[in-house]
Amino acid sequence: MSTLVLASGSAYRAELLAKLQLDFISFNSEVDESPQPGENPAQLAIRLAQAKARAVGVMFPHGLIIGSDQVALCGTQLLGKPGQRQPAIAQLQAQSGQCVEFYTAVSVFDASRNRCLTDLDITRVYFRQLSLEQIEHYVDLEQPYACAGSFKAEGLGIALFSGIESSDPSALIGLPLIKLVSLLARFGVTVL
């Protein structure tokens, strides 16, 4: 079997992939994540997942590379990783009482055959009406500065929501495992 490589430095994605009990290595991709003019959230997530997988494929020419990317949309505003406390608070204030869509794409790239397959999950997150005090308390506790949307759904962030609609609950954390298992099977990699 080809070397399985996760094209990400994200500890969250590595933890998710480890749940499948496959041997893999992680290698961070250096891909510019800026949106292109006119690109919608689904197109952006798909393009970046493929770009990350292909970029790492250069380093592992016989590897099977997994790339993933997530784009959050609140109204018409794309939400990235806040990086710091104040932008995280502002993002959560904007999401309070709203439905936010998370577009999570996953690509599997066979570098030796130059074959790439991609799938997309759309998760809708319904935020509770949150006070500034609740938001600040949450941000200070979890410091979700490296998370699109400024929360960690696998942690205390779940308390920010009134509901979630998704066909793949792992997608919200950053790697849609149900879709990934199907893609890997098409490359001959079975999980069970």
Reference 95, options 135, 44, 146; nearest CA is 135
Annotated catalytic residue, options 23, 32, 69, 140: 69
In terms of C-beta density within 10 A (0-12 exposed, 13-18 middle, 19 or more buried), how is residue 188 classed?
exposed
Whether residue 69 lies in the annotated active site: yes
Q: Kindly list the catalytic residues.
A: 69
